[in-house]
């Protein structure tokens, strides 16, 4: 199944690459002005995420939600767990209820197609990989980021297109996840971040229609498998 996923993702990326360009990091004022709503509420979102860290055994591992990505989820036998509130338009009612403030903002922003809280175990490394299509972009908000003892910098590293970024508590990035990216939690404590997949504004009409078709198809798959 992973082979067919990889081949399909490569084909889809090539179609987007031929029609949509742009840098790895994106301007939120242009592509996602609602980023400020999530950034302003980051403490509330962190407070809703914190109880989940006490019951992480009940939060699915990434490959349990998306079997096609098993290779990057279990590569080092360290946990990467995902608490999904919304996936390609399909909401998980019980998870939305567990995070009412976050759910309120997500529900108020239709361009947010997916919303989840990502928990990485100490010293977990997610190897380099690429997202499948450029019709969505990724918003990444630090909630509980461990710090390096030597210099106080964030110990979790997100590398996008070969450049390292250290996003701390309340800091955020908007980026194109079709660029190669990897993550390392180089610490002894769990790292948590909010991850949103956001509709890309300003696409050519043909790519907008193509994106809606793909997102609808993925949404049907999510409904069939279930959310979270």
Predicted model pTM: 0.94
Q: H or E stretch including 153?
A: none
What is the distance between the alpha carbons of residues 228 and 224, in angstroms, rounded to a whole number?
12
Answer yes or no: is 3 within a domain: no
Answer yes or no: is 94 within a domain: yes
57-83: average pLDDT: 90
Q: What pLDDT is recorded for position 116?
A: 98
Answer yes or no: is 160 within a domain: yes
Domain that holds residue 29: 22-225
Q: Considering the chain, what percentage of its residues have pLDDT values greater than 70?
A: 97
Answer yes or no: is 15 within a domain: no
**Which of 58-67, 82-91, 136-145, 170-179 comes out lowest in average pLDDT?**
58-67
Q: What pLDDT is recorded for position 1?
A: 47
Residue 226 DSSP symbol: -
**Which of 15-29, 56-70, 91-105, 163-177 comes out lowest in average pLDDT?**
56-70
Q: Model confidence over 116-165: pLDDT tens digits?
A: 999 999 999 999 999 988 999 999 999 999 999 999 999 999 999 999 99
222 vs 96, residue with greater confidence: 96
Answer yes or no: is 65 within a domain: yes
Domain count, the chain: 1
Q: Model confidence over 35-50: pLDDT tens digits?
A: 999 999 999 999 999 9
Q: Kindly tell me the sign of the dihedral angle through the C-alpha atoms of 95, 99, 102, 105.
A: positive
The CATH number given to whatever domain includes residue 220 is: 2.60.120.330
DSSP string, 35-82: HHHHHHTHHHHHHHHGGGGGGGGGSPBHHHH-GGGHHHHSTTS--EEE
Q: What pLDDT is recorded for position 3?
A: 63
Q: What is the mean pLDDT of the chain?
A: 94
Answer yes or no: is 163 within a domain: yes
């Amino acid at each position: 199944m992973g082979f067919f996923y990889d081949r399909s993702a490569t084909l889809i990326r090539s179609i987007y690459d031929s029609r949509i360009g742009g840098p790895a990091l994106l301007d939120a004022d242009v592509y996602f002005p609602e980023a400020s709503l999530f950034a302003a509420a980051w403490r509330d979102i962190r407070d809703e995420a914190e109880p989940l860290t006490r019951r992480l055994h009940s939060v699915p591992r990434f490959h349990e939600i998306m079997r096609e990505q098993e290779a990057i989820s279990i590569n080092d036998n360290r946990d990467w767990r995902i608490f999904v509130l919304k996936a390609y338009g399909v909401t998980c009612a019980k998870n939305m209820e567990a995070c009412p403030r976050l759910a309120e903002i997500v529900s108020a922003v239709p361009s947010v197609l997916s919303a989840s809280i990502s928990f990485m175990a100490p010293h977990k490394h997610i190897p380099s990989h690429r997202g499948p299509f450029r019709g969505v972009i990724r918003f990444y908000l630090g909630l509980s980021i461990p710090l390096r003892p030597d210099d106080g910098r964030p110990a979790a590293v997100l590398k996008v297109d070969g450049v390292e970024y250290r996003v701390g508590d309340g800091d955020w990035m908007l980026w194109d996840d079709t660029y190669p990216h990897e993550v390392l939690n180089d610490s002894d404590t769990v790292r948590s971040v909010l991850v949103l997949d956001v509709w890309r504004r300003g696409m050519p009409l043909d790519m907008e229609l193509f994106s809606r078709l793909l997102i609808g198809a993925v949404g049907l798959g999510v409904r069939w498998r279930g959310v979270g």
